[in-house]
Amino acid sequence: KKISKKSSKIRQGKLRLQKWYVPLSDKERKKISRDLVQTILARKPKMCSFLEWRDLKIVYKRYASLYFCCAVEDQDNELITLEIIHRYVELLDKYFGSVCELDIIFNFEKAYFILDEFLLGGEAQETSKKNVLKAIEQADLLQEEAEAPRSVLEEIGLT
């Protein structure tokens, strides 16, 4: 069970994405995020990817300027969590084509959509990379179709 959240942050400690799977107030979330970010940014490169924080296990991995971190429960397998993180990064990479941080900044909602096709309630819902991307693709198409007629109409002045 991957409870709590998954978030990615940059070196300066700015959050680019956070997903919460437990009910917490905005204030609590902010505090936790802040604490966690500080803790992780304080880690040295040689340290391992796991740490204990409060009563949770934190699994984090750095990709270029972004840190991806997950808070999991005691009985969860940390090593497979690393694979989950990696899978998500792969999905972003495939979708955006060599993803970089700017992609995630300017398309944050897409990053969320992809995450929500990969995980649900903190667990992986689809283990095939291909299937996740296919679903996003289809949904994007659906969106485009929904938009297209309107813009055509508007274009010819019929609102």
Partner 1 sequence: MLIVCWSPVMVEVWNGPGDKKTVEGPSRMPAPIRLRELIRTIRTARTQAEEREMIQKECAAIRSSFREEDNTYRCRNVAKLLYMHMLGYPAHFGQLECLKLIASQKFTDKRIGYLGAMLLLDERQDVHLLMTNCIKNDLNHSTQYVQGLALCTLGCMGSSEMCRDLAGEVEKLLKTSNSYLRKKAALCAVHVIRKVPELMEMFLPATKNLLSEKNHGVLHTSVVLLTEMCERSPDMLAHFRKLVPQLVRILKNLIMSGYSPEHDVSGISDPFLQVRILRLLRILGKGDDDSSEAMNDILAQVATNTETSKNVGNAILYETVLTIMDIKSESGLRVLAINILGRFLLNNDKNIRYVALTSLLKTVQTDHNAVQRHRSTIVDCLKDLDVSIKRRAMELSFALVNGNNIRGMMKELLYFLDSCDPEFKADCASGVFLAAEKYAPSKRWHIDTIMRVLTTAGSYVRDDSVPNLIQLITNSVEMHAYTVQRLYKALLDDISQQPLVQVASWCIGEYGDLLVSGQCEEEEPIQVTEDEVLDVLEGLLVSNLSTPVTRGYALTAIMKLSTRFTSVNRIKKVVSIYGSSIDVELQQRAVEYNALFKKYDHMRPALLERMPIMEKTASNGPTEIVQTNGEAEPSVVEAKHPPPVTQPTNQANDLLDLLGGNDVVPVIQTTVPTKPASAGGELLDLLGDLSLSGGPAPAPATSVPSSQPAFLLDGLTSPPLFNDIAAAGIPPMTAYNKNGLKIDFTFERANPNPNIAVITIHASNSTEADMTDFVFQAAVPKTFQLQLLSPSSNVVPTLNQGTVTQVIRVLNPQKQQLRMRIKLTYTHKGSAVQDLAEVNNFPPQSWQ
Q: Which residue do the tokens 């437990």 mark?
A: 22
Residue type, 39: T
Site string for partner 1, 34-63 (x = CB under 8 A): ------------xxxxxxx-----------
- Outline where DSSP puts E strands in 2-145: 5-10, 15-20, 50-53, 56-63, 66-72, 119-120, 123-124
Q: Which of 10, 62, 63, 124 binds partner 1 (CB under 8 A)?
A: 124
The backbone torsions φ and ψ at residue 149, rounded to the nearest 5 degrees and listed phi first, read: -55, -40
Q: Min. distance of Cβ 30 from partner 1 in angstroms?
A: 7
Q: Quote the CA–CA distance of 140 and 61 in Å, as a whole number.
A: 29
Q: Does 21 bind partner 1 (CB under 8 A)?
A: yes
Q: Does residue 116 touch partner 1 according to CB under 8 A?
A: yes
Shortest distance (Å) from residue 68 CB to partner 1: 15
Give Cβ neighbours of residue 50 (< 8 Å, ≥ 6 apart): 57, 58, 59, 78
Distance CA 50, CA 1 (A): 16
Candidate list 12, 55, 130, 158; residue touching partner 1; CB under 8 A: 130
Q: Determine, following the binding rule CB under 8 A, whether residue 89 of this chain makes contact with partner 1.
A: no
- The distance of closest approach from Cβ of residue 101 to partner 1 in the complex, given in angstroms and rounded to an integer, is 11
Residue 82 tokens read as 């690393």
Which of 71, 91, 95, 114 is in the footprint of partner 1 by CB under 8 A?
95
The footprint of partner 1 (CB under 8 A) covers 14-19, 21, 23-26, 30, 46-52, 77-80, 82-84, 95-97, 100, 102-103, 105-110, 112-113, 116-117, 120-121, 123-131, 135, 137-144, 146-148, 151, 154-155, 159
